[in-house]
């Protein structure tokens, strides 16, 4: 099947992928637009995995002040080159993440940053709750594990559903950006300020 330049352009406009990648995706999917988008997303995931080990020490500090000036976020987001850090896509990604932090109030970027004592404390609470609810002893550990997973989704930034699209997590958002921009991108740290806290 012949792939037209218009098809390639439409796919590129929709995904931000390179022209050759779009042509290959359309060829692989026999011109089916939706299948081509899925193909590019899968490619983005594999590209993101390959880029994960690359050093990302450029980037920016992004500040977001919520209307009313009572809530603000400072976010450090890193990429590999200053060139990518200055692109509109990277700036928009930083803004989206900072707005998400303002709205969802995560505590840490990833699980490894959680203090072990906090998890032990939560696990003890969930265990006591399950026993008080009359759950059998043999299923209590599974219940605790399930509630801890839910807790991680509440406090770990990369595991939270994105406030603008609940179908994707922040990790998915970052992976898509890595595939689209062609560089490793890391959320290094953030601070959330609320007036009076």
All domains of the chain in start order, with CATH:
5-51 (1.10.8.10), 58-109+156-194 (3.30.479.20), 115-155 (1.10.286.20)
Burial 41-70 (b: 16+ CB within 10 A, else e): bebbeebbeebeeeebebbbebebeeeeee
Query: Residues 109-116: contacts with CB within 8 Å, 24+ apart?
Result: 109/156, 109/157, 109/158, 109/187, 109/188, 109/189, 109/190, 110/156, 110/157, 110/158, 111/152, 111/156, 111/159, 114/155, 114/156
- Which strand (E) or helix (H) includes residue 78? strand 71-79
Q: Which two tokens stand for residue 140?
A: 């209590």
pLDDT of 17-29, one tens digit each?
Answer: 666 777 888 888 8
* Rounded-to-integer distance, Cα 53 and Cα 171, Å: 16
* Rounded-to-integer distance, Cα 23 and Cα 11, Å: 9
**In degrees rounded to 5, what are phi and psi of residue 72?**
-145, 160
What pLDDT, on a 0 to 100 scale, did the predictor assign at position 92? Answer: 95
pLDDT of 122-160, one tens digit each?
Answer: 888 888 888 888 888 888 888 888 988 999 999 999 999
* Rounded-to-integer distance, Cα 26 and Cα 39, Å: 9
- 109 against 40, higher pLDDT: 109
What pLDDT, on a 0 to 100 scale, did the predictor assign at position 46? Answer: 46
**In degrees rounded to 5, what are phi and psi of residue 17?**
-75, 165
DSSP 112: G
What pLDDT, on a 0 to 100 scale, did the predictor assign at position 55? Answer: 62
């Amino acid at each position: 099947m012949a792939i037209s330049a218009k098809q390639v352009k439409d796919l590129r406009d929709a995904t931000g992928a390179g022209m050759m990648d779009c042509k290959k995706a359309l060829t692989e999917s026999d011109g089916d637009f939706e299948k081509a988008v899925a193909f590019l997303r899968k490619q983005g995931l594999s590209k993101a995995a390959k880029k994960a080990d690359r050093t990302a020490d450029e980037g920016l500090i992004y500040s977001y002040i919520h209307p009313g000036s009572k809530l603000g976020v400072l976010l450090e987001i890193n990429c590999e080159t200053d060139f990518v850090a200055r692109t509109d896509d990277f700036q928009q990604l930083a803004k989206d993440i900072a707005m998400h932090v303002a709205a969802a109030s995560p505590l840490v970027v990833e699980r490894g940053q959680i203090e072990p004592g906090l998890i032990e404390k939560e696990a003890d609470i969930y265990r006591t709750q399950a026993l008080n609810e009359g759950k059998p002893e043999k299923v209590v550990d599974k219940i605790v594990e399930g509630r801890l997973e839910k807790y991680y989704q509440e406090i770990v930034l990369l595991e939270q559903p994105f406030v603008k699209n609940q179908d994707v997590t922040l990790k998915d958002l970052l992976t898509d950006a890595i595939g689209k921009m062609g560089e490793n991108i890391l959320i290094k740290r953030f601070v959330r300020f609320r007036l009076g806290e």
